A and B are shown apart, each in its own frame.
Chain A
Amino acid sequence: MAEIQIKQVAKRFGKFDALHSIDLTIADEEFLVLLGASGCGKTTLLRIIAGLETATSGEVHIGGKRVDHLPPKDRGIAMVFQNYAVFPHLTVFENIAFGLRMAKMDQAEVDKRVKRTAGLMHIEQLLERYSGQLSGGQRQRVAVARALATEPDVILMDEPLSNLDALLRMEMRAELKGILAESNTTTVYVTHDQVEAMSMADRIAIMQGGHIIQAAAPVEVYRNPAAHFVGSFIGNPPMNFLPAKKVDDGVWSVAGATINGPHSSKNELNFAIRPEDLTLDHNGPLQAKVALIEPLGSHVLASCNIENNLFRVVLDSDTSISSGDILGLQPLSDRVRWFDPETELAV
């Protein structure tokens, strides 16, 4: 049982608040991704769970046991670092065996586990090498194998793929997800790459400025962003936003067009729609002037101008349009979202 409970954890460095009262429960065997831009607090939160940082206030529970006063070695966790931290003076075998030897396991068991984990990570042929003789991708596999070999309740990963090239990253993503799904561990994974988050997570916790803005399954976060920030951070290309003025209760004016929207006491809201949730329609409510066309192979990305707001549209790759054309666009009504311009939250 390795459920993680984070209760009102806050962290302050000097005068800077890195984390503001975080509350989060991670279910046993869940794969949770902490997603956010640099400086949002995700690595700090991970390190507090690991025991490498102490929270200024709040509690951390792992497997029902309160751990915030315990050192990392007593928390039942294993960690994979961004720069791998493979021990340079030990062979790959000894690196993977390190945690097992500290646990005073006998040689036969150590051998068995190291060989099994090395096999999982496809590095059996590298066991006698030293880290200086390995490529970055190989070192990363050693780091993961070393963490997995101890069969921890919880595995923590701090941007493990960010130092790899794009193709290797894609392969490792799929491999890691498969291995971790089979291994019955709770995983907390930190990244700034939203594609990684969408691809691997059971749930994504999006962080900004030391707060968790939304924690939900990938599709939920994508379809129903809880805040303006989430809509613009997740999805490539990001969500489009247009200012909307109230015409009547439930009726809004967006770039000259009249669209039905939520009932609100506010006079201004932000209208939001994803680039792929629009269809071409001459009589559509939105009229967009094409500024830039990017034929990306699988689709065409058109960057347009609606009343001086940047508005992107994803079109079929066979669409022929040119710069300067005026496109009529019909937003799919169930995909339209509205945000409060002051609080930035979804309405």
Chain B
Amino acid sequence: MSTAPNMVVGQSRAARWAFNGSVIILCLWVLVPIYLLLSNALSSPSAVTAFPKSIVPSFDTESVEFFLFFNGVGKALWSSVQVAFLTMVMSILIGAPAGYALSRFDFRGKNLFRILVLMTRAFPLPLLALPMAIMFIKVGLDDTVFGLAIVHTTLALPFAVLITFSLFSGIPIELEEAAWTLGCNRFQAFMKVIFPLVLPGIAASAIFAFVVSWNEVFAAAVLTIEHRTLPAFLLQSLDDAPLHLKFAGGAVLVLPALIFIFFVRKYLFAMWGIANR
């Protein structure tokens, strides 16, 4: 932190104020909604709708309890877990080899490939929703956990590829070459030398894929009826629900994602090229 810009000698006080001010505003922008969500989820139903509100929540778990035992929530939660787990496994199984190939080999069209992988994220999902639903019905994947997992994998793959790409690029190829001279074939060198070193990063990448699937609501809402995931379920049923239930539901959705991302932030920074040492 000793080289933060606001410590530069000679920078005017006005500029420092502007910088610090914008940092504070950005932090509030993210933190205030999360605070509101959590504090209201932990308040009794009457406290949520009361006005004026107290800053400190009343730590009443009635809203959360009601939410958890609401009909259909358990099933939706289980569907979410299944879809997210499948997404996680498929993203890594497809994404990690792609990341390895990108980091170790040079082939024609390599840069184009990298850009295309990233560009798939730019494609608006709503445009695809209806045609995809029709195709899924034709193929028989409609309203299945596996079908939704395929869509989520497509959404998570660019991240899996790019995170693993930066992971593998950080491992010097000499380590593999040394293993080759010591009696390993390519696969053995990968398993004995590279894999232990990238395991933490792969785990982070997997968790990120999990979170992408967990939060996804649009495709889930369109493609599932009986096997709704939690976000889709909440979208459908909580429209008519009272405010405190919405807060509780929101908190249950947001919290796991928040916690997971916090633990893997180091690897996401690596993906964007920022060192966080």
Contact = CB atoms under 8 A, between A and B. Distances in A.
A103 interface: yes
Contact of B178 (A51, A87, A89, A103): A87
Given A81-B178, A102-B188, A73 B183 contact: yes
Contacts of A146: 178, 182
A89 B192 CA distance: 10
Contact of A85 (B174, B183, B188): B174
A87 to B, nearest CB: 6
B240 to A, nearest CB: 55
B196 A89 contact: yes
A73 B178 contact: no
Given A88-B197, A89-B196, A102-B188, A77 B178 contact: no
Interface in B153-180: 172, 174-175, 177-180
Interface in A66-123: 71-73, 77-79, 81, 83, 85, 87-89, 98-99, 102-103
Contacts of B172: 83, 85
Nearest to B189: A73
B181 A72 contact: yes
Nearest to A52: B177
Given A52-B177, A81-B177, A73 B185 contact: yes
Contacts of B174: 81, 83, 85
Contacts of B34: none
B183 A103 contact: yes
A89 B197 CA distance: 7
Contacts of B175: 85, 87
Contacts of A87: 175, 178-179, 193
Interface in A266-323: none
Contact of B180 (A71, A83, A88, A103): A71
A150 interface: yes
B270 interface: no
A50 interface: yes
A102 B193 CA distance: 13
Contact of A102 (B177, B183, B196, B197): B183
A27 to B, nearest CB: 22
Given A87-B193, A88-B197, A89-B197, A73 B182 contact: yes
B261 interface: no
Contacts of B197: 88-89
B252 interface: no
Contacts of A88: 197
Given A81-B174, A83-B174, A89-B197, A50 B182 contact: no
B184 interface: yes
Nearest to B182: A99
B183 A99 contact: yes
A148 B173 CA distance: 21
A72 B177 CA distance: 9
Given A88-B197, A89-B196, A89-B197, A73 B177 contact: no
B182 A102 contact: yes
Contacts of A72: 177, 180-181
B184 A102 contact: yes
Most buried by B among A52, A71, A85: A85
A148 to B, nearest CB: 12
A51 B177 CA distance: 10
A150 B179 CA distance: 13
Nearest to B195: A89
A98 B183 CA distance: 9
A87 B184 CA distance: 14
Contacts of B188: 102
Contacts of B182: 73, 78, 98-99, 102, 146, 150
A139 to B, nearest CB: 12
A88 B61 CA distance: 48
Interface string B225-243: 0000000000000000000
Most buried by A among B177, B185, B196: B177
A51 B181 CA distance: 9
Contacts of A89: 193, 196-197
Contacts of B179: 87, 98
A163 B57 CA distance: 61
A304 B174 CA distance: 46
B51 to A, nearest CB: 58
Nearest to A101: B183
A78 B196 contact: no
24 contacts: A50-B181, A51-B181, A71-B180, A71-B185, A72-B181, A73-B184, A78-B181, A78-B182, A79-B177, A79-B178, A79-B181, A81-B174, A85-B174, A85-B177, A88-B197, A89-B196, A89-B197, A99-B182, A102-B182, A102-B183, A102-B188, A103-B183, A147-B181, A150-B182
Given A51-B181, A83-B172, A87-B178, 15 more contacts: A51-B180, A52-B180, A71-B185, A72-B177, A72-B180, A73-B180, A73-B183, A77-B181, A78-B182, A79-B181, A81-B177, A85-B172, A87-B179, A89-B196, A102-B183
3 smallest CB-CB distances across A and B, nearest first, come from: A102-B183, A99-B182, A85-B174
